[in-house]
Amino acid sequence: MGTSMEGRENQKQGEATMANQHLEVLNALDVAKIQWYHFTTIVIAGMGFFTDAYDLFCISMVTKLLGRIYYHENGSPTPGTLPPNVSSAVNGVAFCGTLTGQLFFGWLGDKLGRSKVYCVTLSLMIVCALGSGPPLAKHQQALWPRSVSSASGSASASAAITLSPPPSCRSTPTRRPGAPSSPPFSRCRDRYPRRRIVTIIVTTAFNNRFDAPPYDIDPVGSTVPQADYVWRIILMFGAVPAAMTFYWRMKMPETARYTALVAQNAERAAQDMAKVLQVDLEDETEKEKTNEVAIKSDSEQYGLFSRKFLRRHGLHLLGTSMTWFVFDIAFYSQNLFQKDIFSAVGWIPKAATMNALEELFKISRSQILIALCGTVPGYWFTVAFIDIIGRFWIQISGFFFMTAFMLGLAIPYHYWTIPGHHIGFVVLYGFTFFFANFGPNSTTFIVPAEIFPARVRARCHGISAAAGKAGAIVGSFGFLYAAQNQDKAKTDYGYRAGIGVRNSLFVLAACNLLGLLFTFLVPESKGRSLEEMSGENEELQEIECAEANRTLDPV
């Protein structure tokens, strides 16, 4: 009996010792100075985002070309376009794969570790991006690899690595967590101009080599046979950034917070940090070596969707999921169908006046202007101000101004369609992207990786991101049909009459307003450590308090 009680006391003391060591290790992570390794982590994780984002959006760049190549109608006054079912499948299949991948690999990341899962997803993305190019059966080769490639769920793994990256579990100390954790995302979001630059380079090279007349002069000759190689090269290029970072990703250790809090190995976490950071944790490592008591702390006694989790983080998860959901409805609708909006207001010439490659070039040129004037500056404003203004107010202001500018486009929409007025439309449209990126497109990604416990962080981020991709599916499928002209005679070939671009903009404005309201469910995480935000500090401290009380009152 005495031996049994003594064993229990030793276990309790071991729990308190381990809890204290965890706090010491995590505190050391938060106070570590920014070093070269942090920047290396940012670049590597950012490349993962770049690949994931490139795969998601590059398909929208080539849908016009696919329509001209595979769906030309003899005698038609306009170039061929993808039928509604094919267009929705091409644009939406990647989001379906992404949603599945974020849930599955988010769960796997919490079970096996962020580093292992990230390497798996990166490998899948390389293989599937390369698989997008080789010929299969006409347009079908554009479909199947997109879902598998995006199903890798790289965004969730990258989020866990970047915002809680190895070995510091966050790429920056607590005093400036948001700013350097934003560059991976902003670096990845720089794919907006970069993927268009790739498209511009490829189309320019082919257009210069294979000159072709406009469609209204020679419908068949306006699409040269070599155009079939253009979209394949653009899709396959997604493998390049992933392959460039694979070796360095393999050399990175597991995230220290995962090792310390989930794997319960503070010694290994300290050793991993010591290899790459100038942080002295020898004392903690020696303490861990002398502690041979197997423990299972209170912080592991509740899981995802348990009552305790729902009580502590249920509203937070609802907030991060819904804000991401409604935002992506608006954001991805705008991105995927910019070319249609620009055509509607007359910023891009009519398709019949251009050859196939020229049309793709001018669409890319128009989109890169929006990206350089709105998208990219918005992200770098987030980098500069996220730890000054805070995540909450950036997201609130972003949703507010997106709503305002969307209404500014929708209410006087007919005015913007008058020749000579498209410049004003483009300026307002650019501002919606600026405040999307100096707003929820950054914060909806960052916050879920900061406010949830380490053992469920990848899953919670995956759920939130999957909700976003569900919104992207709604946007990509819904806007495709809804934005069609209300006059059936003016719709694209094969489409039914829709509610029109103007009413679609009203719907997107309403989505932004809902996002603003759901933001009030999400807590501010500025200047607070990951453990403080998730409640893990409190849980570890409860162990110490309980042990202290048992010491004072051994009965």
Of 30-39, 128-137, 358-367, which one has max mean pLDDT?
Answer: 358-367
Least confident of 16-20, 159-163, 184-188, 425-429: 159-163
Q: For 33-64, what is each residue's pLDDT tens digit?
A: 666 666 677 676 666 666 767 777 777 778 88
Q: Is 258 part of a structural domain of the chain? A: yes
Contacts of 534 (CB under 8 A, 6+ apart): 313, 451, 452, 453, 454, 457
Position 240 scores a pLDDT of 84
Residue (of 535, 461, 501, 525) closest to 105 by Cα position: 461
CATH number at residue 220: 1.20.1250.20
Per-residue pLDDT, averaged over 272-286, amounts to 56
Residue 35 gets the label, from left (phi > 0), alpha (psi -120 to 50) or beta, of beta
In order, the DSSP letters of 21-42 are HHHHHHHHHHHPPP-HHHHHHH
H/E element, 249: helix 239-251
Give residue 245's pLDDT band: very low, low, confident or very high (50, 70, 90): confident
Q: Is 342 part of a structural domain of the chain? A: yes
Q: Please state, as a whole number, how many other Cβ atoms lie within 10 Å of the Cβ of residue 491.
A: 17
How many independent structural domains does the chain possess? Answer: 1
Contacts of 457 (CB under 8 A, 6+ apart): 110, 160, 164, 449, 534
Q: Is 298 part of a structural domain of the chain? A: no
Per-residue pLDDT, averaged over 107-134, amounts to 79
Q: Is 555 part of a structural domain of the chain? A: no
Contact indicator for 328, 440 with CB cutoff of 8 Å: no
Per-residue pLDDT, averaged over 429-450, amounts to 90
Q: For 440-483, what is each residue's pLDDT tens digit?
A: 998 998 899 888 887 788 889 889 989 998 998 888 777 777 87
Q: Is 93 part of a structural domain of the chain? A: yes
- The reply to whether the predicted model has a pTM over 0.75 is no
Give 12 or 264, the one with higher predicted confidence: 264
Over the chain, what is the mean pLDDT? 74
Position 407 scores a pLDDT of 94
Q: For 542-555, what is each residue's pLDDT tens digit?
A: 555 555 555 555 54
Residue 390, CB-side half-sphere exposure with 13 Å CA sphere: 11
Residues spanned by the domain of 332: 33-168+182-280+306-524
Tokens of 334: 């705008």
Q: Is 2 part of a structural domain of the chain? A: no
Q: What are the b/e assignments for 126-153, b being 16+ CB within 10 Å?
A: bebbbbbbeeeeebebbbebbbbbbbbb
